[in-house]
Amino acid sequence: MTADPTNRSSLKRYAWLSIAAAITTIVLKAAAYQLTGSVGLLSDAIESLVNLAGAVMALAMLTVAARPADEDHAYGHSKAEYFSSGVEGTLIMVAAIAIAVAAVERLLSPKPLDQVGLGLVVSVAASLVNLGAALVLRRKAKEAHSITLEANAQHLLTDVWTSAGVIVGVGAVALTGWIRLDPIVALFVAGNIVWTAVRIVRASVLGLMDTALPPGERESVTRVLHRHAADGVQFHALRTRQSAARRFVSVHVLVPGAWTVNEGHQLLERIEADIRGTLPNASVMTHLESLDDPSSWDDEELDRAG
């Protein structure tokens, strides 16, 4: 038996929040760049363009993930969220390359900065918009176990730290007069963005590869099974995977051959209910086998022996 599908429709409004935050910060950061001519602030504005593209992709994939299971997708559409986070990670990487190119050009041909004070005020305002949106998205991502919103939140928080570094760098340029510090800060920004992109893409790949549940969650399933290991009951072929918010657990339950079908069925019902009570949004599949049948031991591995 399986748990009811998790409704992802309510998450779309958080993608709209991300889109609104991205548009607002693009306008503010572009204005800051126009005021100062800082390549550091330009790199910040470029990353916000990536934020917008990622937020639009998140909205599209959350819309797909909200669709109910159908004949062609019996396990639902929740894996669509991994495409969103994967694309966003790739876009972040592209932004990092663009920032590095602009920084190297400015490093080779440095230019003085203008209206630094006003530009920094505008940039701080943009950072506060991103920070507020990121905190809201991160909280909802944890509640809904959404990798899409988690990637969006991480991206926005990275943008906040990026902006903080740029602001410090531009301020240092104004204080010291060392104008090459501006592109140097931009290069550090690019490196930080690359690290974020790698983490986001890695999480997406692991999800698409049907990676097992984290060790702590697997241990909680094992504890449930041990509680039911009475009267000679045994278990094997425990397999787990995660698809965005949905968890999948399957296990073979071996009972004495003298048990009736009804006795075995009642045990499976209790096991499935206990696992669902331990793991949120879990779909649990159990397979009943006889301890007295030698063939019951042929399918302990992923591929049935013989």
Report pLDDT digits (tens) over 259-304. 999 999 999 999 999 999 998 788 899 999 999 888 888 777 766 6
Q: Residue 9: what pLDDT?
A: 64
**Do 204 and 237 fall into the same domain?**
no
**DSSP class per residue in the chain:** -BPPPPP-GGGHHHHHHHHHHHHHHHHHHHHHHHHH--HHHHHHHHHHHHHHHHHHHHHHHHHHHTSPP-SS-TT-STTHHHHHHHHHHHHHHHHHHHHHHHHHHHHHS-----SHHHHHHHHHHHHHHHHHHHHHHHHHHHHHT-HHHHHHHHHHHHHHHHHHHHHHHHHHHHHH--TTHHHHHHHHHHHHHHHHHHHHHHHHHHHHTTPPPPHHHHHHHHHHHHHT--TT-EEEEEEEEEETTEEEEEEEEEE-TTS-HHHHHHHHHHHHHHHHHHSTTEEEEEEEEETT-GGGGTTSSSSPP-
**Do 221 and 96 fall into the same domain?**
no
For the cut 80, the answer to whether the pLDDT of residue 41 exceeds it is no
Q: Residue 306: what pLDDT?
A: 53
Confidence band (pLDDT; 50, 70, 90) for 65?
Answer: confident
Identify the domain boundary among 208, 228, 262. Answer: 208
Question: Residue 36's CB: how many other CB atoms inside 10 A?
Answer: 26
Report pLDDT digits (tens) over 97-153. 877 877 787 777 776 666 667 777 887 888 899 899 999 998 988 887 777 788 778
Report pLDDT digits (tens) over 220-268. 999 999 988 877 899 998 999 887 777 899 999 999 988 999 999 999 9
**Do 177 and 263 fall into the same domain?**
no
Query: Who's near 251: CB < 8 A, 6+ residues apart?
Result: 221, 225, 235, 236, 237, 238, 239, 271, 285, 286, 287
Average pLDDT over residues 56-66: 80
Number of domains making up the chain: 2
Residue-number span of the structural domain to which 85 is assigned: 9-208
For residue 190, give the CATH number of its domain. 1.20.1510.10
